[in-house]
A and B are shown apart, each in its own frame.
Chain A
């Protein structure tokens, strides 16, 4: 009987392989275990040995072609059949190979996709085993109800004659670092155990809102993706406070809302970002993308959870326009009138938790950005100032600004330099209101 050589399943996630090179030609006589061809997949390279000695009667997949796992690659006539090679190609085709020769390669599909008629009855586990081991289930009768093929049947078949693909898979597994050692982060995390929750009478169960779920997921992802580094600057705001005090009342009268410190911090951030474009960036694959525009996101706490609306083209806006944008966006975010578009496309984020009793804290980076600035509480503190050439202690309003940056692409010098510039702009308080 002709033996078919199929594309082996080399690992769980491998679904296809490419024929790199055929080491034999049709009509060649091969020994058992002689290499027939070299294949590559997105994970590994391998060689396929001949399962038996014989004559290669047909090569069904040309070099360079990528085919799904379990696709028939070649047919070998066992050695006993002493017949000229040419005749073998004509007569000794296994049933159904005419169909394959006409280009319709036979593949074993995923259970959910496979057309019903073409499938022998087999349990899902048996099917997956057959795929990995390169066993053709066609024509096989199992020991299950009405001849259904079960895991036990496949184990028995393998016991009788191990398949070449099985051997390749075996070798591949042997190469793997060692069973149980994950190769990817996902696999590793998947294997982690979470502490169990023991419910107590009276516990309140508050299911996640959609926003909460998204926030939660985003926080976890960000912490995993970006190695966060946090640094803090102390910022003496006495000039800025004086400036704001001077214009506050007038501002309220003209624009109808209070002028806060946030627009100033945003403005100072924009100026510093222009000097440090590395902070206005994203990581895409293995490249840093320094973003063309500056679009600052401002975090707003709403009843349903955290939202970060984006001030489009912040660098082109005046301070007053920034203040107006913040006012408008945060009001609409709280009233849930914000559109999805207004929540996307930020390139850097400023957050002001705005509560008392908060010296400073480090925010989680808003992906795919690479930095986030968090405002601490503004409070009067003793600071050392120079007066007529002498050091003196004065009471000034001081704020701590904390920057979290992504250490994959920003190093200490850049991070510090940026934060220092933001602080200096705020301390200088040269803003046009």
Chain B
């Protein structure tokens, strides 16, 4: 890979030095190059960050394999007869690693194409526009007019838990483990935990999900969470909400996890424990304090323009806080660079960042939920249409779930959308665009949607918000 540093103490001047090449950092690098900046992208690990290597991409590759298996196993393909269906889970993992590697190479070639200098090693703020990069052997210093922190996040590990990669795992180890356990307890009912829960359940692993809050997917619309919990329960996944992790013992047979729920303490004996209780920002050991960058609640504090308290030092992505999503990191990356170039006035609007979960049924949400909209004092109109009302859904056997469009009665403004069902992670883009353009339910309701497609359910929901759905 290109090495912009030639020996110790070498100094090169850049317009922008970016620390961390995740979807935040590498996208910011490209945008900066487009705007004519000379850019250095510093990465100590694989290009593409968590998203490409240990997050979105490998997890979606695994989910896709699980989904195919699920379809075949459940006899959902009419007429297809299969005997002795089985899975080589190791091959699934291998394929997911290949996908990740391929995309990481893709990022490298994008960097070449945009003439971005990729600097291998660990970056550290060294004061007055300088970044110290060390790759274990050599140290070099880069100088840049602006520095962008996109160091991302890593798994949060609860005190007293030791990740051994065999019995006790985080998503990171789970994404590499080529054997399936017989049984697993997943601590954390958020997106990551539930995606693994789906995969494991499909392959016949006995799964228990433990969630501290009183619903899965805390923070998302309750109706969605309940629908998903029902679907998982039907699949045989045990869901324990309002249940807190208390302790862990690892022995020869597996793990003994103590949890406390409404009915008191309970011991779960399983093969493995997957810890998916969230992530924490990578703020340690990069010289933040000396540089005058402030950290609040564990995340780097930034202003509306993504600039930290230290002039010339900016931050975006997971490291500045929730929602911890790849596309949010990318949007912020572009925005921060445009702010630097004086080409932007508004930050990324959090109301139009969709959040998706890719198990089956899929879950997608953008903007305000019904409850949030009511709390914000809108005169709320909800258009809710189940997929059973869609010809396409019935024809293809994907009748589970619904779409809910939350709108304001006064102007018909679309405030949000929550959806659960097949394909909703793709469908949510339409509503997001409508929200960005400030379209009302009327414009969406007047937009011709191809038949038969699942997107017709979006159309019907928009109509339903005004009480004029056709098929429901």
Contact = CB atoms under 8 A, between A and B. Distances in A.
A64 interface: no
A198 B421 CA distance: 12
A190 B381 contact: yes
Interface in A73-126: 111-112, 123-126
B376 interface: no
Nearest to B400: A199
A124 B446 CA distance: 13
Given A12-B410, A201-B234, A205-B399, A124 B467 contact: no
A285 interface: no
A67 B289 CA distance: 66
B182 interface: no
B467 A129 contact: no
Contacts of A128: 411-412, 440
A179 B234 contact: no
A127 B467 CA distance: 22
Nearest to A143: B345
Nearest to A169: B410
Contacts of A186: 467
Interface string B425-448: 000000000000111101100100
A48 to B, nearest CB: 21
B379 A179 contact: yes
A139 interface: no
A151 B413 contact: yes
Interface string B376-409: 0001010000101001001000011010000001
B230 interface: yes
Given A12-B410, A201-B234, A205-B394, A125 B379 contact: no
A124 B438 contact: yes
Given A12-B410, A124-B440, A128-B440, A197 B388 contact: yes
Contacts of A207: 391, 394
A45 B410 CA distance: 20
Contact of A124 (B223, B345, B388, B443): B443
B227 interface: yes
A196 interface: yes
A247 B450 CA distance: 62
Contacts of B409: 12
B413 A199 contact: no
B388 A205 contact: yes
Contacts of B399: 199, 203, 205
A123 B410 contact: no
B400 to A, nearest CB: 5
Interface string A227-256: 000000000000000000000000000000
Nearest to A186: B467
B411 A180 contact: no
A207 B410 CA distance: 34
A125 B345 contact: no
Nearest to B381: A190
Nearest to A126: B438
Contacts, number: 56
A207 B472 CA distance: 11
A200 interface: yes
B117 to A, nearest CB: 32
A205 B388 CA distance: 7
B438 A199 contact: no
A81 B394 CA distance: 69
A150 interface: yes
Contact of B379 (A180, A199, A205): A180
Interface string B229-272: 01000100000000000000000000000000000000000000
Given A111-B443, A197-B386, A198-B230, A129 B223 contact: no
Contacts of B388: 197, 199, 205
Contacts of B443: 111, 124
Interface string B346-357: 100000000000
A198 B379 contact: no
A124 B442 contact: yes
Nearest to A198: B230
B317 to A, nearest CB: 25
Interface in A242-301: none
Interface in B342-369: 345-346
A200 B235 CA distance: 11
A123 B437 contact: yes
Interface in B453-469: 467
A190 B413 contact: no
A183 B410 CA distance: 14
A207 B393 CA distance: 12
A151 B400 CA distance: 36
Interface string A137-177: 00000010000001100000000000000000000000000
A128 B440 CA distance: 9
Contact of B438 (A123, A180, A205): A123
A190 B402 CA distance: 18
Given A128-B412, A197-B388, A199-B388, A151 B438 contact: yes
A298 B411 CA distance: 47
A230 to B, nearest CB: 30
A196 B401 CA distance: 10
A128 B402 CA distance: 29
Max chain A Cβ within 10 angstroms of own Cβ: one of B381, B388, B438: B438
Interface string B329-346: 000000000000000011
Contacts of B379: 179-180
B467 A190 contact: yes
Contact of A125 (B346, B391, B413): B413
A124 B230 CA distance: 38
A198 B467 contact: no
B411 A125 contact: yes
A200 B233 CA distance: 11
Nearest to B230: A198
B440 A198 contact: no
Max chain B Cβ within 10 angstroms of own Cβ: one of A151, A197, A198, A201: A198
Max chain B Cβ within 10 angstroms of own Cβ: one of A128, A151, A203: A128
Nearest to A122: B438
Nearest to A189: B467
7 contacts: A123-B437, A124-B443, A125-B439, A128-B412, A196-B402, A199-B399, A200-B234
Interface of B: 223, 227, 230, 234, 345-346, 379, 381, 386, 388, 391, 394, 399-400, 402, 409-413, 437-440, 442-443, 446, 467
Given A186-B467, A190-B467, A196-B227, 11 more contacts: A124-B438, A125-B412, A125-B440, A128-B411, A132-B411, A143-B346, A150-B438, A151-B413, A197-B388, A203-B399, A205-B399
Pick the 10 closest A-B CB pairs, nearest first: A123-B438, A125-B438, A128-B411, A190-B467, A125-B413, A124-B440, A125-B411, A124-B439, A199-B400, A198-B230
